[in-house]
Structure 1
Amino acid sequence: MYDRILVPTDGSPEVEHALEYAFDVARAHDAVIRAIYVVNAAGYGGLPMETAWEGISKALREEGRAAVERVEQLAPESVEVETAVLEGSPSRVIIDEATPSSCDLVVMGTHGRGGIDRLLLGSVTERVVRSAAVPVLTVNVDPNKIDDGVDQPQVAVE
């Protein structure tokens, strides 16, 4: 049923909980994980000097490489992982990647980075859920709910 699973990551530890679900589904379906990190170039468009953007862009790309490499490190040996660092509006890039010709399922956390970023930018996950052409599995990554001592349900896919 699922051959390719898109997993956006922002590199935060909370996203690792969503990865557990993605790996479970990938193992059950012998699917490939496509882990992506999106450099949000629009968030830094007002910088006065082009050289300043180049430095920030380089740092964000390095952060992105580290984030997708972390997905590769966490993946079980039985799960193939492809990675990409892309640039653009996170929700738009994820939606563009979430096409039936590219993937069968998107697995993402309910939120990654929060706080002021979430207030200013809105919910990337919400935009993806509303607009993606393929099913989206959202996983609560709230650390207050993850570490509450209650066993999390396992994904059972037949």
Structure 2
Amino acid sequence: MYQHILVPLDGSANSNQALQEAIELSRVFGAKLTLLTVVNNSNWIAASGSIATDITKDYRERAERLLAQGRAITDKAGIQTTSVIKTGIPKNVIVDYCQSEDIDLIVIGKSGADAINRLLIGSTTAYVVRHATVRVLVVNAQEDPEA
């Protein structure tokens, strides 16, 4: 049923839970996984020169760490993955990526790490659900029974 699953990662508990769900789906369907992290440039205020370079470098390094963590989880699970870093507005990049690649399912966390943007301009997940041309599975982080 599913051959290629996209998992957007932002470091939130919800995206980590989405990755776990995608791993299980990958096992069931024999699907390949693509992990996507977006360097969000929507908050960059007209930075130029070395400041812009520093911001880009910091965001890129964070994206690389997130993907490395995701790959470590999928490697441990025995699931082969592809990792992709894109720059842009996350909700647009996710939808556009699915249209340009052979993705047939997005497994995404209910809410991500960027709560301020969610309040100001709306949820990335809600946008993806409304605009994606493929199926979308929205995953909640499991509550910690110890909390």
Which 4+ residue blocks in structure 1 deviate beyond 4 angstroms? none
The CA deviation string for residues 46-81 of structure 1, in whole angstroms up to 9 with x for no partner, is 23x332111011110110011111111111443111
Secondary structure at the aligned position of 1:99 is classed as helix
For normalisation by structure 1, the TM-score amounts to 0.84
Indicate whether 1:97 and 2:94 are aligned. Answer: no
Match of 2:38 in 1: 38
Structure 2, unaligned stretches of length 5 or more?
Answer: none
Secondary structure at the aligned position of 1:128 is classed as helix
Closer, same or farther: CA 54–101 of 1 in aligned 2, 3 Å: closer
Structure with a larger share of its residues in helix: 2
Q: CA RMSD in A?
A: 1.8
Structure 1, unaligned stretches of length 5 or more?
Answer: 150-158
Tell me the distance in 2 between the aligned counterparts of 1:28 and 1:19. Answer: 14
Listed as ranges, the matches of 1:56-95 within 5 Å are: 56-75=55-74, 76-95=76-95
Closer, same or farther: CA 100–116 of 1 in aligned 2, 3 Å: closer
Match of 2:51 in 1: 52
Tell me the distance in 1 between the aligned counterparts of 2:28 and 2:11. Answer: 25
The CA deviation string for residues 110-141 of structure 1, in whole angstroms up to 9 with x for no partner, is 01114323212310000000000100000013
Contact 1:11/1:66, CA 8 A, preserved across alignment: no
Secondary structure at the aligned position of 1:138 is classed as strand
For normalisation by structure 2, the TM-score amounts to 0.90
Tell me the distance in 2 between the aligned counterparts of 1:100 and 1:57. Answer: 24
Contact 2:23/2:77, CA 8 A, preserved across alignment: no
Aligned residue pairs: how many?
A: 145
Tell me the distance in 2 between the aligned counterparts of 1:104 and 1:129. Answer: 13
1:23 positional shift: 0.4
Tell me the distance in 2 between the aligned counterparts of 1:93 and 1:110. Answer: 17
Tell me the distance in 2 between the aligned counterparts of 1:18 and 1:115. Answer: 18
